[in-house]
Every structure is written in structure tokens, then in C-alpha cells.
Amino acid sequence: MGKFKGLAKGVGFGIDFLEGDPDNVYRTKHYIVAQHISLAYDEAAGAVSVSEDYYYERNTARDDDFDYLLMDMRVAEGRRVPTQSYVRTYVR
């Protein structure tokens, strides 16, 4: 992970779905999703992987940014990194 760390700053302009240095970015039919992945510890379950997901509604500008910045990805739309739990936030 970490391919996306600092990418928005490196290109010199702000891209909303790359804010906060996500660990993974992928695209669905209606959204571009930025995953921020961390580990939490629970007494009963032990270590648990948690994904804080931001679902950005797709539009032409976001699709163009995604296509340009992430065009070298092996899987064109990207893939979700599986975690044991997640929290979703939707952004227009």
C-alpha cells in the first residue's frame, strides 16, 4: 500500500479524492472511492483492519483526474482492499 501517498501534492494541485493521502483508490459505476486503512485493537477480537471509505460521486472532472493520474494501474478501475470493517462517507 501507499502508492497514493502524496500523489495529489506531487502533481501540484488539489484532487479531492486524493486528499488525506488514501491508501487505495478505486472506481465503481457511480463513485470514485478513497480507502484510508488502519488497524484497531479490540480485547475480544484482537487486531482488526478498518477502512474509512470516502465515496466521491463520479463526474467528468473526477473521471479525467482518475484516468490521468492512475492510468498505469494494472486493473483499470482498481480494486477494493478487503478489511474486516468499514465506515462510509459520501461526497457530492
Q: Residue 2 falls within a domain, yes or no?
A: no
Q: Residue 61 falls within a domain, yes or no?
A: yes
Q: Which range, of 6-10, 26-30, 54-58, averages the lowest pLDDT? A: 6-10
Q: Is 17 exposed, middle or buried (0-12, 13-18, 19+ CB in 10 A)?
A: buried
**Count of the separate structural domains present in the chain:** 1
Q: Residue 1 falls within a domain, yes or no?
A: no
DSSP 73: -
pLDDT band at 12 (very low <50, low <70, confident <90, very high): very low
Q: Residue 84 falls within a domain, yes or no?
A: yes
Model pTM score:
0.81
Residue range(s) defining the domain that contains residue 19: 7-91
**Residue pLDDT, tens place only, 31-69:** 999 999 999 998 888 899 999 999 999 999 999 998 888
Q: Is 4 left (phi over 0), alpha (psi -120 to 50) or beta?
A: alpha
Q: Residue 76 falls within a domain, yes or no?
A: yes
Q: Residue 40 falls within a domain, yes or no?
A: yes
How far apart CA 6 and CA 40 sit, in angstroms, is 24
Beta strands in the chain (DSSP E): 24-27, 31-42, 46-57, 85-91
